Amino acid sequence: MSLGAADEVAISSMSDADISTFLKEHLLTLSVDECKKVVELLGRDPTLTEVHIFNIQWSEHCSYKSSKQWLKMLPTSGPTVMLGVGEDAGIVRFAQDGEDVYGIAMSHESHNHPSQVVPYEGAATGVGGNIRDVLCMGARVIACADPLRFGDPNGKEKNRVKYIANQVVDGIAGYGNPLGVPVLAGDVYFNSSFDDNCLVNVVTLGVIKEKDIIHSAAPPNSEGHDIIVVGKATDASGFGGAAFASVVLDDEQEEYNKGAVQVPDPFLKNILVRASESVFAAARKKKVTLGFKDMGAGGIMCATSELCESGGVGADIDLEKVHVAVEGLEPYVIACAETQERFAWICPPKFTSTILRIYNEEFELPRVAAGARASVVGKVTTGDYVLQYKGKPICKAPASVVTKGIEYTRVGGSYITTFREPTLKEPTDYGSMGLKILRHPNVASKASIYKHYDTEVQGLAVVRPGEADAGVQAPVPGKYWGVALSVDHNPRYSRISPFHGAVNGVAEAMRNVACVGATPIGMTDCLNMGNPETSEHFRDFIESVEGLSVASHKLWLKDYPEKPVPFVAGNVSFYNQSAAGNTIDPSPIIGCVGKIDDYRKVVRTQLVAAGSNLLMIGERKDELGGSVYYDVHNELGKHVPELDLEVQRREMHAVIDLIDAGLVKSCHDISDGGLFVTVAEMILGKDADGKIGVDVTLGASELAVSRLLFSETPGYVLEVDFSNMKEIEKILGEHQVASTVLGTTTNDAEFLIKEVLEVSVASMAEAWTSGVVEAMK
Amino acid sequence: MIAVLMFPGSNCENETKLACEAAGMKAEIVRWNDVSKLGSYSGYVLPGGWSYEDRIRAGVIASKDKVVAFLKEEAAAGKPILGICNGCQILVEAGLIPGSGKLEMAVARNENPLVSGYYCTWVHMKKTSSKKTAFSAVDEVMAIPIAHGEGRFVTKDKELLAALEENGQILFRYCDVGGEIAKAFPDNPNGSTDAIAGICNKEGNVLAMMPHPERASWMRQLPGEHAGGEEAGPGLKIFESMKRYIDEN
Amino acid sequence: MKTELFVRLKVVDTTALTALTAIQEMGFKEVIGVKRDVYYAFESDSDISKEIVGVDVLVNANKHAARLSSDVDGVGILVTDVEDDCSSLLHTLTERLGISSISHVTRGVFWMLQFKGGVDRDFAEKIASGLLCNEHYQKYEILG
């Protein structure tokens, strides 16, 4: 049986060696077995276009073939979920006002490999792609967060690291700022495991009313609906030949390279967002149901086949109707290219002219970008998913076959690790050691980065980057509801123990949200890992997922005991390793969203008044594995924080209740750099201009002072009024949480720990404001 | 009714419209190519954003859009026109500020020792002219954010600044929290000549300012420890001032 | 000695395309193409021409093509800031990257306009002063 297409590939009659040659010639990453499986699935030999389609659909990136099975461990449903995983973005239930139920849409993606090669474009298009996912649900995009990982700025790759770091930050700013999406949170880590593979993750939030959600599926009864492709003219993006070039002087002939770089166009995106919102409004007014999906990997083919499969329908698409940037593109390129800034609509024919008019005339897409427009490319059918080119079908299969993907059962091999605790002498000058830690780029102020981002656009910011442990916005103008966001994960913890590193990531993200007084309601995760075909690295992936699962279950929803905080969005990025075998630290990066009923109750990090008490929650332990203190001594260590999740949950819920009761003046969590950094940052404040000091007395302890000051066992420091201690102790008692009085705040511009250290605010400010600036210079 | 003009690439139009409404004006967002009701508006706001992604130079391409030529007539007719950030850059490139219709100034790339290029932070701004304008009924010193890469007012015309000063056209300057005119970074966030943050025309009905009043129009937006909520912030007074001007003229 | 470097995107240059649209909408329909380079000029003790094209902060070979002469096809308009503090770039080149022989850097944008029919310097002047350059802080020079 055959399609009769001229470009049919006779796989069924080829030898394995011939198939292998064929795959190499066409730069396909399908394996020989996978190729034969295509024949089996279709019941015939595939066309060249179909081979390309499965090459993409069955890639790790699109199919999650190695990870799917293990990701089932993660909780993805529950009382706070409005729309779970499966569509372009997940949505958590946020607030209700009469009949209007509001949700916060969340998406989390990575764009690691392109950012290592062309860091500006890679980061920019990473932001662009993630924003499209949230927009496609019909949401207003309100915030972004950027967790970034770069190599060692003082190591052997330091020049490359600095180049990439600066360009990535420029790329994020160069895209998010013109588009008008404020950055609400983020974090940056520098370590040598990222020398050859930087990590650029993006988390995006949107706000939407439940009744306005637009699904990533063909609507019910959509036979005969039009399929419309909107946006940039399709080019050969993703079909570059050799990805990297050597330096060539004045060679304009490098067409083959053009496909490898995705070109960001935030100007076009800005127009597309506004035009699309205009379409949403028109559809709501006319009560028309539409399907909407963004195009990423796999382009038109992937988006339209998924829209159809989700709606249980097929399609008849004429690839010659797609607006292209250049003539002569192969049909499989038109179908599968990753050209940016494009979407697909499915709409009833009576509404098609409205969509075309809004994009092509009202918002003048063709004037905004050469060749950009909205074009009708096909119709929804009840049969197979069909792509036509020059009158002939070049893909014909049920939509479910196209989107089915494949799944592998991979197991991880256990391996022995030889981490050990170093033997270090106690510092003779704790103050000086503290300053060294404040200067470390993983601790130091990130102001030189986040001040490059527009944090104020849309006018929703309540707590912006630097002011507190999480960012907070008031997403519905006129309402006091606040949404909080934090992104976290410490890579060195996962180097020692992927399981504990992942647990700490979840705990820290939630803790940061609690520190502003918000209650965690949902999470995102992006598992940035090494080579899944290497059993040790796959073991790291599995242990990371186990850690995420255990933590999210134990640190359950505050308002729904025993129900885990759900993951509503996520991503997996494998193969973050270099040809030389340098693999990144396993990096399951977590985004946590929280809600506060009244944003006027938020607390920030900076000390508010002299004469307050400082309370610490979270017993200090000898847990310096992966700490900044050890890093400063060029050591890794072994004892990462191993959390008692029952205690963590009670501490976190106690802090939320204390803030809600108005009993906390400022609050900061204990993490990188330990207690010393926490208190130092509370003194300094976001702009390192704090005027209130601290007078602390460390109580008797079995632990050495270096442990008390620099151990990264999680905890909190709260600034409270002595007169409220009774009420505070009552709430702590209800949660069975212990606390220690550290000391008081003073009018002296210094950090004083009796008989241990005395450091001026000026010297702390100098160290803390220099660290990242020096690393990026 | 106020027109909040949306150029291709503007991105602050929604919150700018909300600020106009909070000040008691009716406002609608008007696309750059929607000419149907242009003559009927009682005032105009050019909001912040990145028209044409600041390609070639911030504001220059938008300054040549047909709607801007129309604004020149509206300015001459005495209608209030407020340009914020990118709106300010458009008005300067179009010659609507300082007001001769010719290109007399530039809003150049920032000079900033901490962050190269685009810079977003909170500063303070002081009213430094007693001229009666459509936008003057504001606090003498206000906290307000800036967010731009090209915000430095400069001119090669040595006499221009003195003339503007004499006419009372330098309406706002950057200052420190105590109201002292900014001498250097960080109080002056971009190296603007004479710490200039906002300039109006001689008649006082057109203002081009780089800081964003719509981002300081509700107390919740102000940074730092406070419990402000939906009540009016200092920036709202610029819009309220505009409303009063319309009511009185 | 002076070394000039012209760096152009090998991929689509959306800024050049928008500039072309803007120029045509100004009425200059004879302009049929616009290309844009980032321009650098270096003063150095020794010959840096071979080294400078491999410096990633200036040229990323995955997306840039670099050349050492203007190679004008049509009319070239070089726009530079009258006062451009390139000290940060100079520091990166000399301190971070160790190209210590460089003593001075200037940078700008080099626009190349292609005209249907012949080159029209008069139009080029109008386009330079009316769009590409704001003479209150920039200057331009026409080449070719």
- Report pLDDT digits (tens) over A565-580: 999 999 999 999 998 8
- Please indicate whether, in this complex, the C-beta atoms of A459 and B217 are within 8 angstroms of each other: yes
A230 pLDDT above the threshold of 80: yes
For A367, the closest chain B residue by CA position comes to B8
Could you list the residue range(s) of the whole structural domain that residue B10 is in? 2-248
What band does A60 get if pLDDT is binned at 50, 70 and 90? confident
CA distances for A490 relative to A482, A484, B116, B160, angstroms:
27, 20, 29, 55
Terminal-to-terminal C-alpha distance of chain C: 23
- Please indicate whether, in this complex, the C-beta atoms of A178 and B227 are within 8 angstroms of each other: no
Shortest CA gap C122–chain A (Å)? 27
Count of CB contacts below 8 A, A vs B?
113
Shortest CA gap A441–chain C (Å)? 17
C-alpha–C-alpha distance, residues B208 and B71, integer Å:
13
A643 pLDDT above the threshold of 90: yes
Do the strands A519-528 and A567-573 form a parallel or antiparallel pair, or are they unpaired?
Answer: parallel
- Report pLDDT digits (tens) over A576-612: 999 888 999 999 999 999 999 999 999 999 999 999 9
User: What one-character DSSP code corresponds to residue B202?
Assistant: T
pLDDT above 70 coverage of chain A, percent? 97
Residue A376 phi, psi (nearest 5): -80, 125
- Report pLDDT digits (tens) over A372-427: 999 999 999 999 999 999 999 999 999 999 998 888 888 888 888 889 999 999 99
Average pLDDT score over residue span C136-142: 96
A585, A500 contact by CB (below 8 A): no
Longest dimension (CA), chain B: 47
| pLDDT attached to residue A252 | 38
Candidate from C26, C88, C136 with C-beta closest to B106: C136
Average pLDDT score over residue span B59-75: 96
**Residue numbers of B annotated as active site:** 85, 212, 214
C-alpha–C-alpha distance, residues A34 and A21, integer Å:
14
| pLDDT attached to residue C119 | 84
SS3 state at A624: coil
Shortest CA gap A265–chain B (Å)? 9
- Please indicate whether, in this complex, the C-beta atoms of C18 and B61 are within 8 angstroms of each other: yes
* Helix axes A32-42 and A48-57, enclosed angle (nearest 10): 110
Residue to test with chain A: of B66, B114, B225, B226, most A Cβ within 10 A:
B225
Contacts of A130 (CB under 8 A, 6+ apart): A107, A108, A109, A144, A202, A203, A204
- Report pLDDT digits (tens) over A309-355: 999 999 999 999 999 998 888 999 999 999 999 999 999 999 999 99
Residues of C in contact with A258 (CB under 8 A): 10-12
A450 pLDDT above the threshold of 50: yes
Residues of A in contact with B8 (CB under 8 A): 267, 270-271, 363-364, 367-368
Could you tell me which residues are beta bridge partners of residue B107? B153
For C79, the closest chain B residue by CA position comes to B56
Shortest CA gap C140–chain A (Å)? 24
Mean residue pLDDT across chain A: 94
C-alpha–C-alpha distance, residues A733 and A727, integer Å:
10
SS3 state at B79: coil
Residues of B in contact with A467 (CB under 8 A): 223-224
C143 touching A (Cβ < 8 Å): no
Output the DSSP codes for A432-500: HHHHHHHHSTTTS--HHHHTTS-SSTTS-EEE-TTSSSSEEE--STT---EEEEEEE--HHHHHH-HHH
User: What one-character DSSP code corresponds to residue A710?
Assistant: H
Count of CB contacts below 8 A, B vs C?
50
Half-sphere exposure of A638 (CA within 13 A, CB side): 7
Q: How many residues does chain A have?
A: 777
| pLDDT attached to residue A6 | 66
Shortest CA gap C118–chain A (Å)? 23
pLDDT above 90 coverage of chain A, percent? 89
For A116, the closest chain C residue by CA position comes to C62
Residues of C in contact with B61 (CB under 8 A): 18, 22, 131
Q: Which domains are present in chain A?
A: 11-62 (no CATH), 603-777 (3.90.650.10)
Q: Which residues of A touch C (CB under 8 A)?
A: 117-118, 121, 159-160, 162-163, 235, 243-252, 254, 257-258, 260-261, 263, 265, 267-268, 325, 367, 369-370, 777
- Please indicate whether, in this complex, the C-beta atoms of A362 and B33 are within 8 angstroms of each other: yes
Residues of C in contact with B53 (CB under 8 A): 14-15, 18
What band does A249 get if pLDDT is binned at 50, 70 and 90? very low
C58 pLDDT above the threshold of 90: yes
What band does B217 get if pLDDT is binned at 50, 70 and 90? very high
Candidate from B19, B33, B53 with C-beta closest to A266: B53
| pLDDT attached to residue A410 | 87
- Report pLDDT digits (tens) over A753-769: 999 999 999 999 999 99
| pLDDT attached to residue A65 | 85
| pLDDT attached to residue A259 | 64
| pLDDT attached to residue A5 | 65
Residues of B in contact with C25 (CB under 8 A): 64
Residue to test with chain A: of B220, B222, B230, B231, most A Cβ within 10 A:
B220
Say which amino acid occupies A634: N
- Report pLDDT digits (tens) over B110-119: 999 989 999 9
Residue to test with chain C: of A162, A232, A249, A777, most C Cβ within 10 A:
A249
Question: What total number of domains does chain B contain?
Answer: 1
C-alpha–C-alpha distance, residues A242 and B160, integer Å:
56
| pLDDT attached to residue A417 | 86
A260 pLDDT above the threshold of 90: no
Candidate from A260, A268, A370 with C-beta closest to C62: A260
A258 pLDDT above the threshold of 60: no
Average pLDDT score over residue span B88-97: 98
B77 touching A (Cβ < 8 Å): no
Q: Which residue has the tokens 């109008």?
A: C126
| pLDDT attached to residue A248 | 29
Half-sphere exposure of A448 (CA within 13 A, CB side): 20
How many CB atoms are located within 10 Å of the residue A12 CB? Answer: 12
Average pLDDT score over residue span B206-224: 96
Candidate from B56, B104, B111 with C-beta closest to C19: B56
The answer for B 136-165 residues in CB contact with A (under 8 A) is 145, 147
Chains contacting B (3+ CB pairs below 8 angstroms): A, C
Q: Which residue from A344, A372, A398 is spatially nearest to A226, judged by alpha carbons?
A: A344
- Please indicate whether, in this complex, the C-beta atoms of B64 and C22 are within 8 angstroms of each other: yes
- Please indicate whether, in this complex, the C-beta atoms of C134 and B106 are within 8 angstroms of each other: yes
C-alpha–C-alpha distance, residues C40 and C78, integer Å:
11
- Report pLDDT digits (tens) over C11-57: 999 999 999 999 999 999 999 999 999 999 999 999 999 999 999 99
| pLDDT attached to residue A131 | 95
Residue to test with chain B: of C136, C138, C140, most B Cβ within 10 A:
C136
Do the strands C102-115 and B106-109 form a parallel or antiparallel pair, or are they unpaired?
Answer: unpaired
Residues of A in contact with C14 (CB under 8 A): 263, 265, 267-268, 369
pTM (2 decimals)? 0.96
- Please indicate whether, in this complex, the C-beta atoms of B56 and C14 are within 8 angstroms of each other: no
Could you tell me which residues are beta bridge partners of residue B234? none
- Please indicate whether, in this complex, the C-beta atoms of A118 and C14 are within 8 angstroms of each other: no
What band does A66 get if pLDDT is binned at 50, 70 and 90? confident
Residue B181 phi, psi (nearest 5): -55, 135
B110, B151 contact by CB (below 8 A): yes
Shortest CA gap B107–chain C (Å)? 9
The least confident of A94-98, A171-175, C81-85 is C81-85
- Report pLDDT digits (tens) over B141-175: 999 999 999 999 999 998 999 999 999 999 999 99
Terminal-to-terminal C-alpha distance of chain B: 14
Q: Which domains are present in chain C?
A: 2-143 (3.30.1280.10)
CATH number at residue B243: 3.40.50.880
C-alpha–C-alpha distance, residues A180 and A266, integer Å:
9
Residues of B in contact with A362 (CB under 8 A): 31, 33-34
| pLDDT attached to residue A256 | 44
A480 pLDDT above the threshold of 50: yes
Count of CB contacts below 8 A, A vs C?
66
| pLDDT attached to residue A241 | 40
**Residue numbers of A annotated as active site:** 61, 111
